Structures are given as C-alpha cells and as structure tokens.
Chains A and B, each alone.
Chain A
C-alpha cells in the first residue's frame, strides 16, 4: 500500500486512538490484553482502510471495526481471562471530584459492566459514546426497537447489581 495511504491512516488513528483504547478498556481486564487487542484492532483498521470511503467519518468507521474485532475476530488469550481482576482494575476515578458514595458506586458500575456479555458491553459502549439508537442498530445489525429493549434490560441489570 502506498506511503501516502499509510501516512494518512496513521495520522488519523493517532488522532482518534482513544476510541480504540475505550473498546479495549471494556473488553479486557489487564494491560497485556489491552495492548494485544489494541494491536489487533489497529491491524484490522489498516487492512480495511483502502476500502474506507470518505463519506463516513473516520471515527464512526472506527467504532464499527473496533467493536467487530473485539466481539468477533479477536481470540482471547488464556492469560486474560480472570474475573477476579475486575474490581482491582486501574480505572482511575478522580476521588477528589466525588464523594465516597459516588466513587464506590462508580467502582461497582465499572465492575458490573465488565460482567455483562460481549453484546451487552457493545450496546453500553455505544451508549456511553453518545450514539443514538439508529447508529447502535446499524452497528450491531439489529433493529432499533430491539436495541432499545435490550438497552433497557441492561439498565435494569445494572440497577439490580448496584442495589441488590
């Protein structure tokens, strides 16, 4: 592939790399696994880049490739499967900005989100990224109504985990 293509790809990915980091944050639970998934998403983005058409935003396109890699193409390495690590994961919650209850609640929330299945995580991720239900349904290949129904179920599930 041409150097020009390579250059424009790397520049755009460098600019929007947080999207990939956020996908990795949801689907992995330690730094090694995070780096591993980041690497695979980058390769998949790069492989698909020649077909990327400017009519979609690069960032929007990244969500789709990133999530597809995480929930379909990526093969988890054994060492990354450790549910015990969820609670201790390095989510930096800026404690000075929150009271204890909220901080505690956030810790529980992150831990709860990590316990969701891959598809539920994808829905939560898109929701957290301010995607509307049309975009969520287009990314996942389900209807808008079903995306809404599922999202409400996930919300209830999270509520139950927080207030047993």
Chain B
C-alpha cells in the first residue's frame, strides 16, 4: 500500500481527537486582533511614508535650510520639492491600490505575489528617496560652493593657504560619509525587519515558482 494511503486512513480516524471549540470560544477569537504579516507590512509601510515626510518637514525648519532660501536657487529648489511630493502621492496611491488587492481567498501564488507587489512599491519609494537625497545633497553642495558666503570665505582661505584640494576632499568625503551612514542604517533596517517578516513567504514563493519549471 502507498505510504500516503496508509496515512490517509489514519488521518480520517483521528478526526475525533481534536478539542471541540464552543460557539463562545470562537466568538472570543474573532474579537481578537490579527498578527498577520500583511498587517505588519501595512504598519511598517505607513511608518516609512511618515518617516520621509517628517524628514522633509524637519529639513524645512532647519536653520541652514533657512539660509539656503536666501540663495538664488529657486529654479532647483522648487522643482525638487514638487517632484518630492508628486512622487510621494504616486507611490502612496500605488501602495494603497496594491494593498487593497491582497485577498486571503486568492490562490496561494497570487496571494504571495500581491503581498510582494505591495512591499515592492514601498521599496521603490524608499529607493527613490535615497537617490533623491543623494542628488539633493550634491546640488546643495554645488550651490553652497557657489553662493554661500561662509563657504566662499573658507574656499578663499584654503586657496590662500594652498590647501584647496584638501578642503574639497574633506567636504566631499564628509558628505559622502553622511550619505553612506544614512543608507547603511536604512539597509540594515530593511534586512532585519523584512528578513523576519517575509523570510517564510519568500521561501514558499520560491518553492512554488520552482514547480513551474
């Protein structure tokens, strides 16, 4: 006899071994909150959108940003701000649309794909923000070198001391280090949070995909 048929015979016999939950037991259960990964992805995604919004507002009130407003840089600053908000709105719409399509009654593969798609829209948003951050920092640096009195004075001083190259190298390296730390912290966050949340889903999705070949 086939091993599985032997198992099937026993499987049916052991049905009565399960505890019988009462109407009230089930009622209590439906009042409790879910701890599914979809709920966590939703919460974490909202936090990510929130985080970038807070960062953009915090930068706005920053003193050096106030100084930046006095420069002749509207041509750069306004498009940058507009792009930032348009992209935020677009990604938020995409995220919400994908989130709404997640349904536990779809087949296993479609369900997994929809969850991964929702997660991906947030991932792309964060990637956009990192690129946006890097581009902004570079642009700000150029404008400051060109227009900021403090920077111009420092450049002149460095030039007079014959250390202009050293000055540029220090400023550029410091900026790059700041960017690298910011990106590093975010990547670590992703690796930890999504590794824990989606490890199982990814593994099972790969297994299902493997069956297609």
| Residues of chain A whose beta carbon lies under 8 Å from any beta carbon of chain B | 6, 9-11, 13-14, 17-18, 21-22, 25, 38-40, 42-44, 46-48, 51-52, 61, 64-65, 67-69, 71-76, 91-94, 97, 102, 105-106, 109-110, 113, 117-119, 122, 124, 127-128, 130, 138-143, 146-147, 149-150, 154-155, 158-159, 162
Contact = CB atoms under 8 A, between A and B. Distances in A.
A109 B36 contact: no
Interface of B: 2-4, 6-8, 10-11, 13-15, 17-23, 26-27, 29-30, 32-38, 40, 103-112, 115, 197, 200-201, 203-204, 207-208, 211-212
B38 to A, nearest CB: 6
A48 B35 contact: no
B20 to A, nearest CB: 7
A105 B103 CA distance: 39
A94 B14 CA distance: 8
A106 B14 CA distance: 12
A45 to B, nearest CB: 8
B81 to A, nearest CB: 39
B36 A73 contact: yes
SS of A interface (majority)? helix
SS of B interface (majority)? helix
A132 to B, nearest CB: 14
A52 B174 CA distance: 58
5 contacts: A43-B34, A64-B104, A74-B37, A106-B10, A118-B204
Contacts of A51: 103, 105
